[in-house]
Amino acid sequence: MSNLFSPNPAKAAVERWWLLYTPVWGILAGGVMLSGLADHWTDLPLMAFALLLAVGAIVPPILRRNHERDLPWHRTTAWRFGLSVILISFFGNYSWCPYFYDVLHMHYGFQTQWNIRNNPTQMYVMTVPYFATYAVLLTMSWRLAMRALAGLPRLLQLAAASLTAFAVAFLETLLNANPWLASLFCYDDMKLMLTFGTFFYGMLFVVVQPVWVWLDEDPDRPQKQRDVWLWCGAAMYASVLVADLIQYEIAPHFTTVEAGAWQHNLRDWDDGCLIRPD
């Protein structure tokens, strides 16, 4: 597996940490959700918990930076890589969430008042450890496909490298939108989400995957912080174009698109698939 990590030792160190951290944040998040604590927590405890998990993903690699001790923290690969995850997490929540409400008929049951576009604010932060894990999986699968299919047409290599994006989308839905969490998170039609939804969500990851692959991959050509902002901004703009294309041209052939559902699909226990908490 070691040869699937980045050839840049500084980036590889971050990837190893995020991979090791995955079961930690996964167990903690699962415990809070399944225990029923998240049913009754309001904004402050939810945000504190989300910050705890996000800090655990971003800060340790910056503090360690074994291969970049001579650099200030804000010029390290660990910071740039972490910043890319933060930006895509925040921009993704802001830009993508309405599509999940309108096209995929998602519902949230969190009892929060701190909401942005009817999306609980702690979700913007909670997504950071999720996306840190996804960044590792997507970069490693990219390298694997490029090496395993060396010599084959480039388009075939890229298609193979993108398969993990759809696997990530499928697994996230399967693990989070389940009957045990129906008081917090659900889809009106799980079959639709696991099929068409996997395609929809996976395509968004396909768009952002090159950012994580490209970032500081060459140890001799480190990027600048402004490059991270520009590339993440470009990826998010492209992802919105892709999402619009799917919503208006493809989704109507598979489901009913409910324009404006994002404005009322939070805590709608009596009108959707959410189960009212005890």
Integer distance in angstroms from the first to the last C-alpha of the chain?
46
pLDDT tier for residue 148 given thresholds of 50, 70 and 90: confident
Closest Cα to residue 185, out of 170, 197, 169, 174? 174
pTM reported for the whole predicted model: 0.93
What pLDDT is recorded for position 2?
63
**Chain mean pLDDT for the chain:** 91
What pLDDT is recorded for position 1?
63
What pLDDT is recorded for position 114?
92
| Distance separating alpha carbons of residues 67 and 7, to the nearest angstrom | 13
Mean of the pLDDT values across residues 168-179? 85
Other beta carbons less than 10 A from residue 195's beta carbon? 13
Mean of the pLDDT values across residues 167-181? 85
Mean of the pLDDT values across residues 182-187? 88
Residue written as token pair 């009892």:
111
| Distance separating alpha carbons of residues 99 and 120, to the nearest angstrom | 15
Q: For residues 254, 258, 261 and 265, what is the CA-based torsion angle, rounded to 10 degrees? A: -50
| Distance separating alpha carbons of residues 121 and 112, to the nearest angstrom | 8
Mean of the pLDDT values across residues 206-218? 93
Q: Cα 40–263–108 angle (5° rounding)?
A: 30
Domain boundaries, the chain: 6-263
Instruction: Give bridge partners of residue 187 from the DSSP assignment.
Output: 106
Mean of the pLDDT values across residues 91-106? 93
- Of 60-69, 119-128, 235-244, the poorest mean pLDDT is in 60-69
Q: For residue 271, give the amino acid letter.
A: D
What pLDDT is recorded for position 238?
96
pLDDT tier for residue 172 given thresholds of 50, 70 and 90: confident
Q: For residues 11, 12, 16 and 21, what is the CA-based torsion angle, rounded to 10 degrees? A: 10
Tens of pLDDT, residue by residue over 33-73, are: 888 899 889 999 999 999 999 999 999 999 988 778 888 88
List for the chain the helix, strand, coil content (%; round to 5): 70, 5, 25
pLDDT tier for residue 138 given thresholds of 50, 70 and 90: very high
